[in-house]
Amino acid sequence: VAIDYGMKWNIPRHLKQLGCKVTVLPGNCTAAEVMELNPDGVFLSNGPGDPEPLTYAIDTIRELLGQVPIFGICLGHQLLGLACGCKTFKLKFGHRGANQPVINHATGQVEITSQNHGFAIDPETKPDDVEITHINMNDNTVAGLRHKTHPAFSVQYHPEASAGPHDSHYLFQQFFESISQARVSS
């Protein structure tokens, strides 16, 4: 299931290329509506604006945590962070456009990313069960996180945008692999 908060349509295309059947639900869907579809995973899309007023989305994501693998980008990243207990803040200068360098803490590699957002996760509010996985090298803001006990992760940038030499396409594969692992475990 892809929850649409303002989704770019090349995102479902990337998921379909991995063999996923994608059902799109509106951003105001409930966790019960998502789970009625018996999804293997949930994708949280990008979208505009301040994530904190979207309490309906935060509540839905909080209910879904631990039930299915979750992958979020951009606004979906911020909403996942809020659902996990983080806070967000308005950036003094939003991140707009390509060529935003992000370091992946797991690999130590720098990824050149495309970003378009005016809010970010406040790392000082991160609970113990959340790990920061990526940092924007321009201003040291959080660019990725994962939940330590639930199969849920997100990035602030747009892996579907193909900035650089497809630096971040691996994230779609990582989501697909977390779905496969969840199937084996259940």
Find where tokens 């994608």 sit: 22
93 DSSP assignment:
E
84 catalytic? Reply is no
124 catalytic? Reply is no
* CA terminus-to-terminus distance, the chain: 18
Q: Catalytic: which of 77, 95, 117, 158? A: 158
Q: Catalytic: which of 20, 77, 111, 160? A: 160
Q: Catalytic: which of 29, 74, 84, 86? A: 74
Residue 144's alpha-carbon distances to 6, 76, 85, 106, in angstroms, are 20, 11, 15, 11
63 catalytic? Reply is no
Pair 76, 43: CB distance under 8 Å? yes
What does the alpha-carbon distance between residue 18 and residue 36 come to, in Å, rounded to a whole number?
Answer: 23
185 CB-contact burial (10 Å; exposed 0-12 / middle 13-18 / buried 19+): exposed
Q: Which residues are catalytic?
A: 74, 158, 160
